[in-house]
Amino acid sequence: MPLADLIAKSPYPAMTWVFVVLLVILSMYFARVHAHRAILSLSRALYRTLRLGAASTLRAEHRLLLRNREVLLAAGREAKERIIEREFERIDGSVRRDISECPSLNRRLTEEVTRIEEDHQKSTEVPPAPPGWVPAVNAVAEIPSKGDPMVANILEGIHDSLVKAQEQATQDYRKSVQVRHDHLKSMMPHWRNVAQLLGQVDHKVTDLLQRTQIIDRHIDEYENIMRGSDRAERMLSSSSLVQFFIAAFVLAIAAGGAMINFHLIARPMAEMVGGNNLIGAWKIADIAALVIILVEISMGLFLMESLRFTRLFPVIGALADKWRVIMIWVTLGFLTGLASIEAGLAFMREILLQDELLLSASLRGETDAVLGNDFVWITTAAQMGMGFILPFALTFVAIPLETFVHSLRTVMGVTTGFFLRGLAMTLRLFGLGFRYLGEAMVNIYDIVIFLPLWLEDRVKTHLGNGRRPAQGPSFRET
């Protein structure tokens, strides 16, 4: 029976209540020191436990951060090594190609220069000089005739001869100049060829220089990673997060493609495995369609791995080239076979659909609507095309999948780190809360028994010892 009921049954309930309250206060007064100790011990235990938990969590977070950093730097180092290796391979290929072209280039340049020299030589030939006797004849022709007609005729004849000789000389000179100009003109394509060849050389050298600059940049970043600098870690972490979201986006698109693929083959699959058999809550036809799609994705992963686009399976990467090529052809063969099956299933889907439409129409009594239309072949062809192409398109899922898996490690690490930090903070907050709650409860305890405490204080003051009444233990003392 509760205490309240007992008191209510007493003849003087009010008095009984007062008595009980006084009894409780007195009991609390006499048990004050021990009660304070108990409350403070409990709050201290909770505070210390939670603090310990927070410290452990922080240590775990610290270890996780270190581990994340190691993994991130290792992954970044590996990726950077691959990039630098690839750049060196490119440079190597470029230099080998250019060097192999050097003799040919040299020969072509020499030929062009020789032709230019020949043309130049030809263009520098001296034009034919006017005859040597012309000045003598000219001097005779300028002698005054002094009215003698005979002399005048002779002189006129000389003059005419001279003019003719001059014209002949001018014509010869022009022809000679024309020939020289022709030689100079024929030099132009050779100059152009030389300029073009030198331009090609310049372009290749510039390309090489740009590649070296790229390599320099990658080497700098690689050195940063090797030093384990904070900047490198921040860059890699940020890069990982970006890659994670991009890969997740592409995987979501691929999942959409796989879903379309699934709907394309699930219905006709019922013709092969039955439409009403179940495993659990799933139709076997649906499971079979799903398995086909998953096998296609697996084949795609193996194909990409064999082609060395991805590095998800070290065993495949370590295969000898001969076996790798065999694996490429085998996986490609499987993929083509599965794609052909899907195209066939897509065709069957269309046939089933048409049959169902015809049956529904005939059940509705629409006998004239069962002829169908002339454009059915378009949807049939489109479905077959999708059935054949989608398995090959899903092959490329391997690339974002690899990125997703690699970046997921970093993202999970960062997320777990945040979670642990938040947990440690929460534990510390609760620890502090329990500590102050204990002190508050001690004070509230004293408030409840303030009357005996006040009396004790007055009595001790009256007795004159001047000392303060005994205090309960503080949080620090406990």
User: What Rg value do the Cα atoms of the chain yield, rounded?
Assistant: 51
Residues 246 and 404: their CA atoms lie apart, in Å, by 8
Q: Least Å distance between CB 275 and another protein?
A: 4
Residues in 53-82 at the binding interface with another protein, rule: CB under 8 A? none
Q: State yes or no: residue 363 binds another protein (CB under 8 A).
A: yes
- Residue 367 in the binding site for another protein (CB under 8 A): no
Closest separation in Å from C-beta 339 to another protein: 23
Least CB distance to another protein at residue 290 (A) = 18
Kindly state the tokens that stand for 187: 């030099």
Is the Cβ of residue 27 or residue 362 nearer to another protein in the bound state?
362
**DSSP category for residue 319:** S
Which CB sits closer to another protein, 92 or 355? 355
The residue among 4 and 278 lying less far from another protein, judged by its C-beta, is 278
**Cβ distance 285 to 312 under 8 Å?**
no
Q: Which is nearer to another protein, 298 or 362 (CB)?
A: 362
- Determine, following the binding rule CB under 8 A, whether residue 168 of this chain makes contact with another protein: no
Amino acid sitting at position 385: G
> What is the identity of the amino acid at 260?
I
Using CB under 8 A as the binding rule, whether residue 368 contacts another protein is answered as: no
Cβ count within 10 A of residue 387: 24
How many Cα atoms occupy the beta-carbon half-sphere of 435 within 13 Å?
A: 15
Are the CB atoms for 430 and 50 separated by under 8 Å?
A: yes
Distance CA 285, CA 337 (A): 19
Torsion of CA 467, 468, 474, 478, to 10 degrees: 40
By CB under 8 A, the residues from 232 to 271 that bind another protein are 267, 270-271
Contacts of another protein in 78-137 (CB under 8 A): none
Q: Name the token pair of 194.
A: 């030389």
Of positions 228, 274, 337, 385, contacts another protein by CB under 8 A: 274
CA–CA gap between residue 344 and residue 272 (Å, rounded): 12
Residue 360 within binding range of another protein, rule CB under 8 A: yes
Judged by beta carbon, residue 281 or residue 371, the one nearer another protein is 281
The count of chain residues that interact with another protein, using the rule CB under 8 A, is 17
Find the shortest distance in angstroms from Cβ 274 to another protein: 3
Stretch that binds another protein, among 100-108, 195-203, 273-281, 386-394 (CB under 8 A): 273-281
- Please state the closest distance from residue 360 (CB atom) to another protein, in A: 5
The stretch near another protein (CB under 8 A) out of 10-18, 276-284, 368-376, 428-436 is 276-284
> Can you tell me whether residue 135 is helix, strand or coil?
helix
Measured from the CB atom, the residue of 150 and 363 that comes closer to another protein is: 363
Closer of 53 and 275 to another protein (Cβ) = 275
Smallest separation, CB 387 to another protein (Å): 18
Do the Cβ atoms of 358 and 395 come closer than 8 Å?
no
Contacts of the segment 436-439: beta carbons below 8 A, 24+ positions apart: 437/43, 438/39, 438/40, 438/42, 438/43, 438/44, 438/46, 438/47, 438/475, 439/40, 439/43, 439/475
Tokens of 402: 């690899």
Min CB(364)–another protein separation in Å: 7
Would you count residue 355 as binding another protein (CB under 8 A)? yes
Choice from 56, 277, 415, 471 touching another protein (CB under 8 A):
277
Residue 157 in contact with another protein, rule: CB under 8 A: no
CA atoms within 13 A on the CB side of 420: 18
Please report how close the Cβ of residue 381 comes to another protein at its closest, in angstroms: 21
> Closest CB to another protein among 256 and 274?
274
Residue 471 in 3-state DSSP?
coil
**393/7 Cα distance (integer angstroms):** 84
Q: Does 380 bind another protein (CB under 8 A)?
A: no
Minimal distance, residue 278 CB to another protein, in Å: 6
Structure tokens at 262: 């699934």
Written as six digits, the tokens of 287 are 């499971």
Q: Least separation, in Å, of the C-beta of 385 and another protein? A: 23
Q: Which residues of 146-156 are buried (b: 16+ CB within 10 A; e: fewer)?
A: eeeeeeeeebe
Closest distance between another protein and the C-beta of residue 375, in Å? 23
Residue 359 sits in the site that holds another protein (CB under 8 A): yes
Tell me which stretch binds another protein (CB under 8 A): 73-81, 102-110, 318-326, 358-366: 358-366
Rounded Cα distance, 110 and 348, in Å = 69
What x/- string results for residues 315 through 354 when contact with another protein is judged by CB under 8 A? Answer: -------------------------------------x--
Footprint of another protein (CB under 8 A): 267, 270-271, 274-278, 352, 355-356, 359-360, 362-365
